[in-house]
Amino acid sequence: MKAVISVIGKDAVGILARVSAVCAEHNANVTEVTQSVLQDVFAMVMLVDISALSIPLAELSDRMSELGKSMGLSIYVMHEDIFNTMHHI
């Protein structure tokens, strides 16, 4: 079972580190990261394994969104099923 964490916003030092730290704290295993900085805009999509997540996914979403607010970023946590369902028959 996987979730997608997407981070969009102004580039700053330590975004990847802090998002990964929250993942580690709650036992979400990062399996893939795609990241780019275009004209100061930071965009990252992270695939995490949530099979052994220590808290409910909804709570991880709350934590990430709090982190996003504190850093002036938009962070979305979404279960992979929404992408699989929407884009694949």
- Does 27 help bind another protein (rule: CB under 8 A)? no
- Does 55 help bind another protein (rule: CB under 8 A)? no
Do residues 33 and 5 touch, judged by C-beta distance below 8 A? no
Name the percent of the chain in helix, strand, coil, to the closest 5: 35, 40, 25
Taking contact as CB under 8 A, which single stretch among the options 11-19, 21-29, 74-82 is the one that binds another protein? 74-82
Residue (13 or 58) nearer to another protein, CB? 58
Query: Largest Cα–Cα distance of the chain, in whole Å?
Result: 40
CA pseudo-torsion sign 67, 46, 61, 22: negative
- Does 77 help bind another protein (rule: CB under 8 A)? yes
Which of 10, 11, 34, 52 touches another protein (CB under 8 A)?
Answer: 34
Binding site for another protein (CB under 8 A): 4, 6, 8, 34, 45, 47, 56-58, 61-62, 74, 76-87, 89
